[in-house]
């Protein structure tokens, strides 16, 4: 009878400690990906987008940014970029507009050339 209690107690302890251990491993696989700065511009003569993702300047953050950039470049909509980032546990914090302030032969005031999403890991 005591042996069954010991086995049950051991099983309970292992079951309760496993989620904490697995969460720690997940944090180590994803170091420093707290914020994302995502610059999106349209490609000339194309409906596809050019996307650059910036997670930071450590080697791991640069590599992750390049991987996300490759996946997101050539998407056709801004919503597709947002949806992909939300699927990867990011939430939108702010949106900025990239504007071209140059004028063509003294006329016009330029226009929107792209957008920036600032996102945070949930």
Query: Is residue 63 classed exposed, middle or buried when 0-12, 13-18 and 19+ CB atoms within 10 A define those classes?
Result: exposed
Which pLDDT tens digit goes with each residue over 8-19? Answer: 554 555 454 544
Convert the pLDDT of each residue in 52-81 to its tens digit.
Answer: 999 999 999 999 999 999 999 989 999 999
Mean pLDDT of the chain: 78
Task: Between 71 and 104, name the one with better pLDDT.
Answer: 71
Residue 105 has pLDDT above 60, yes or no: no
Q: Tell me which of 32 and 46 has the higher pLDDT.
A: 46
Please report, rounded to a whole number, the percentage of residues in the chain having pLDDT higher than 90: 52
Given its phi and psi angles, is residue 47 left (phi above 0), alpha (psi -120 to 50 degrees) or beta? alpha
Is the per-residue pLDDT at 111 higher than 70? no
Give residue 43's pLDDT: 77
Residue spans of the domains in the chain: they are 1-30, 32-121
pLDDT tens-digit readout, 36-60: 999 999 877 888 999 999 999 999 9
73: which residues sit within 8 A by CB, 6+ positions away? 48, 49, 50, 51
pLDDT number for residue 115:
94
């Amino acid at each position: 009878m005591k042996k069954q209690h010991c086995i049950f107690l051991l099983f309970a302890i292992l079951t309760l400690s496993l989620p904490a251990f697995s969460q720690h491993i997940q944090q180590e696989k994803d170091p420093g990906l707290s914020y994302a700065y995502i610059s999106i511009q349209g490609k000339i003569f194309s409906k596809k987008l050019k996307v650059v993702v910036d997670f930071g300047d450590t080697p791991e953050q640069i590599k992750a940014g390049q991987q996300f950039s490759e996946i997101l470049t050539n998407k056709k909509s801004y919503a597709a970029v947002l949806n992909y980032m939300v699927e990867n546990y990011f939430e939108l914090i702010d949106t900025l507009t990239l504007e071209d302030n140059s004028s063509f032969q003294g006329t016009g005031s330029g226009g929107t050339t792209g957008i920036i999403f600032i996102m945070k890991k949930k």
